[in-house]
Amino acid sequence: MALLKEIKGRLQSVHSTRKITSAMMMVSSAKLLKTQQLIATLYPYEQKLNHMMQHLLQGVKEFRSPYIQQRDVKRVAIVVFSSNTGLAGRFNHNIINQLYSVIENYLHLGKENILIYPIGSKVTKAIQKLEMAPAGDYEAIAAKPSYQATRMIAQELMQLFITDKIDRVELIYHHYVSKGTQEVRQEIFLPVELPSGGNEDPEQEYIVEPDRISLLEQLLPKVIQLKLYTMHIDSLTSEHAARMTAMQIANDNADNLIDELKLEYNKVRQQSITNELLDIAGGTVR
């Protein structure tokens, strides 16, 4: 009877856990749908801005901007996107491992010359283990991204770059491919690599006012700021997808465990009934 009670208790515990994982899966699914819709509108807008830049660069022999200046790297900034919470499979582990790899590549500069902007508490804790201080507290915006917040971060990085206080900015984030696939990506944020302008199309004539250079100078900072926001939304979409998948796997495992416990419970119960019948009949089970 003690064993039956123990199995019954485990069954109730697994059922309760499954209710939690099922609820978390549904919440993540709803959040995923919302961020998917947002990123579906952001990507075309970002691509259109890049397309505009490409057209403006046509016919421009040389465009100079402080944001495209290449120089030797003596000080670097790294922007890393993680989550504030766990239960998302290897989502945070993959990001942290990639961050450690990047930091190792820059350790010859000295830890004081490596600035880390952690978007998410998980990566903040990871860099604190390395005895490195984060460049700011961005835990509040990790789960609730806003264009204004990421724009301020981008402007700070842009100002540090054009004043030669940092020589490179790198991004580490998850790119959403599908519900079951999210890729860790590492990209150079600054200096900017401009799209190739190519040759002027004689069949297309554009009236550009006041001039191409002036428009490019206005457009480039906007493209840079938008990119950081897009990467943040991309990372958040990947987080919801990873958590939804992890909770689905947890539900499947809970279902399998429930089936095994029910089978074990029925076997023990049947054995108990058999023993009671034998005792009543005067038999003895050794």
Reply yes or no on whether the pLDDT at 286 is more than 50. no
Count of positions (residues) in the chain: 286
Q: Does pLDDT of 57 surpass 70?
A: yes
Q: What are φ and ψ of residue 56, in 5° steps?
A: -65, -30
Mean pLDDT calculated for residue range 40-54 = 89
285: CB partners within 8 A, 6+ apart: 274, 275, 278
Higher pLDDT, 281 or 202: 281
Q: How confident is the model at residue 196 (pLDDT cuts 50, 70, 90)?
A: low
Cα–Cα distance for residue pair 65/192, rounded to 1 Å: 9
pLDDT (tens digit, 9 = 90+) per residue, 218-265?
999 999 999 999 999 999 999 999 999 999 999 999 999 999 999 999
pLDDT band at 140, cuts 50/70/90?
very high
pTM here is 0.89
Q: For the ranges 28-37, 59-68, 260-269, which has the lowest average pLDDT?
A: 59-68
Q: Is the pLDDT of residue 204 over 90?
A: no
What is the residue extent of each domain of the chain? 27-245
Average of per-residue pLDDT across 162-187: 96
Query: What is the average pLDDT score of the chain?
Result: 91
| Residue 141 confidence (pLDDT) above 50 | yes
CATH 3.40.1380.10 fits 27-245, yes or no: yes
Q: What is the 3-state secondary structure (H, E, C) of the chain?
A: CHHHHHHHHHHHHHHHHHHHHHHHHHHHHHHHHHHHHHHHHHHHHHHHHHHHHHHHHCCCCCCCCHHHCCCCCCCEEEEEECCCCCCCCCHHHHHHHHHHHHHHHHHHHCHHHEEEEEECHHHHHHHHHCCCCCCCCCHHHHCCCCHHHHHHHHHHHHHHHHCCCCCEEEEEEEEEEECCEEEEEEEEEECCCCCCCCCCCCCCCCCCCCCHHHHHHHHHHHHHHHHHHHHHHHHHHHHHHHHHHHHHHHHHHHHHHHHHHHHHHHHHHHHHHHHHHHHHCCCCCC
